[in-house]
Every structure is written in C-alpha cells, then in structure tokens.
C-alpha cells in the first residue's frame, strides 16, 4: 500500500462472514472453555440497528497489490488469546 505511486484506500479482510459470537466462542474454545458458561448477554442492551454479521471485500487489495489474507478469524482469535510469558 505504502509503495504505490498514488495513495488509495484498501480494505484488508478475509472476505469471510463471522459473528461476534463466533469470535467469542473461538477465543474461549482456545482456552478450553465454553463461552456460554462465562458470558452473560443482556438482550436489553442489543441495538436494533446493530450489524450482526459483517464481511470485508478485499478484492481491490488482491487486484492492485496481490494481497491475500493469510489468517482466518479463528487464527486471529487464537493469536489474541495466547498467553504471553
């Protein structure tokens, strides 16, 4: 991106759809835990206009930069939840 002759905007994403629940479940599973035992969800706090699922389109980055995602949501969840010593 930074080496392009002309500055431009790019979306960096896997192109996969994941919910927040998918992410939370993956992080807890990586720790050997069931998220449903540890997370309390309050339906009164849900916003009607909340985006429940999102997906980024990185096709422009692929076309212009040759960029492809190397990691998936589960990989990112695992890396974020790894214990650092």
pLDDT of residue 72: 93
Q: Is residue 73 part of a domain?
A: yes
The total of structural domains in the chain comes to 1
Which H or E run includes 54?
strand 53-54
Query: Is residue 2 assigned to a domain?
Result: no
Tell me, what's the pLDDT at 85?
A: 56
Q: Is residue 5 part of a domain?
A: no
pTM: 0.71
pLDDT value of residue 54: 75
Give me the tens of pLDDT residue by residue for the chain, a chain 85 residues long. 888 889 899 999 999 988 888 999 999 999 999 999 999 989 898 887 767 667 899 999 999 999 999 999 999 999 988 876 5
Q: What is the pLDDT of residue 19?
A: 84
Examine residue 4 and state whether it is found in any structural domain, yes or no: no
Spatial contact of 23 and 73, defined as CB atoms under 8 Å apart: yes
Looking at the domain assignment, is residue 60 inside a domain? Answer: yes
Tokens 């990586």 — which residue?
30
């Amino acid at each position: 991106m930074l080496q392009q002759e002309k500055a431009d905007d790019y979306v960096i994403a896997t192109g996969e759809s994941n919910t927040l629940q998918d992410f939370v479940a993956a992080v807890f599973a990586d720790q050997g835990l069931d998220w449903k035992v540890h997370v309390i969800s309050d339906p009164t706090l849900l916003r009607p206009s909340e985006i429940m699922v999102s997906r980024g389109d990185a096709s422009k980055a692929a076309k212009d930069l040759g960029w492809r995602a190397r990691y998936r949501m589960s990989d990112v969840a695992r890396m974020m939840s790894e214990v650092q010593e």
